[in-house]
Amino acid sequence: MQFQWYPGHMTKAKRAMQEDLKLIDVIIELVDSRVPYSSKNPDIDQMANGKSRILLMNKCDLADTNVTDEWIKYYEDKGYFVVRVNSKSGSGVKAVHEVIQKACRDKIERDRRRGILNRPIRAMIVGIPNVGKSTFINSFAGKACTKTGNKPGVTRGKQWIRLNKKVELLDTPGILWPKFEDQKVGLNLAFIGSIKDELYNIYELSLLLIKFLVEEYPDVIAEFYGIENSTDEVKLIESIAERRGYLKSGAQYDFDKVAKCLIADFRQGKLGKISLERPC
């Protein structure tokens, strides 16, 4: 399966983000915990240019906890402050406040030495589409926040959300298109639903997902669908079709219906906590 990449979107988004990054002290980057490498846009690393970096392992409720632990260590070793988050339930979100203070300790100290006290830290949320930026911002900012409005000369018309005395958040998240020149990255992003369904063949995608699951999580499909286990992808699809009664006229198996169902069940976490990649 081949995926296409759209440099046009990328260039425009990058330019806008570069401007916004000039205004902020700390970058809060969200990745999907099931694919912490594939959902991380490497351009942000180049643009960060010495800013403090916080990495949020979002959707941790959907990923394999042990593998997420490995990723946290991997990124901490690279100098990130890392927090495991489930933005949907709010779990881990509060901890981000404390981590922001930690990540900006040097800047706060620098300000203090120059006699600047209590200047709020400015933060920006970034990430590829669908990674959970809006959900996180809603959970993080909550109802208590107030929009601070324009500050001429300082923010150049940007809107900021004042979270508390210590932190202000740029109210529009930085969206970067995923980079999927690498086919493995493209495939992982298709599995989690970050690439439009029209761009690939759903049946082929389901076969690749089953192949991965048979190798890495050998019991999940048989257990969830209540079917006999097998290492044969097509056999598993046929068993699901039979079990669920997904048949077309002439008693043929409805492979597309099974494929859609399997992919949706995986994306919603019904098959269990599954990670699609490990740090190497």
Running DSSP on this structure, what letter comes out for residue 62? G
Contact (Cβ atoms closer than 8 angstroms) between residue 209 and residue 50 = no
Nearest-approach distance from CB 229 to ligand G4P, in angstroms: 27
Nearest-approach distance from CB 39 to ligand G4P, in angstroms: 10
Q: For residue 40, how many C-alpha atoms fall within 13 Å in the half-sphere facing its CB?
A: 21
CB nearer to ligand G4P: pick between 135 and 206: 135
CA 26 – CA 258 distance, rounded (Å): 44
CB nearer to ligand G4P: pick between 29 and 168: 29
H/E stretch holding 12: helix 7-21
Nearest-approach distance from CB 30 to ligand G4P, in angstroms: 7
CB nearer to ligand G4P: pick between 38 and 239: 38
What phi, psi does 22 have (nearest 5°)?
-65, -25
Q: State the CB neighbour count (10 A cutoff) for residue 30.
A: 26
CB nearer to ligand G4P: pick between 236 and 273: 273
Name the β-bridge partners of 32: 58
Nearest-approach distance from CB 126 to ligand G4P, in angstroms: 10
Identity of the amino acid at 89: S
CB nearer to ligand G4P: pick between 106 and 198: 198
Contact (Cβ atoms closer than 8 angstroms) between residue 234 and residue 253 = no
Nearest-approach distance from CB 50 to ligand G4P, in angstroms: 25
- Residues in touch with ligand G4P (CB under 6 A): 58-59, 61-62, 86-88, 127, 129-135
- Which residue of the chain is nearest ligand G4P when measured via CB? 132
CB nearer to ligand G4P: pick between 131 and 237: 131
Q: State the CB neighbour count (10 A cutoff) for residue 275.
A: 21
Helix (H, G, I), strand (E, B) or coil at 145: coil
Nearest-approach distance from CB 137 to ligand G4P, in angstroms: 8
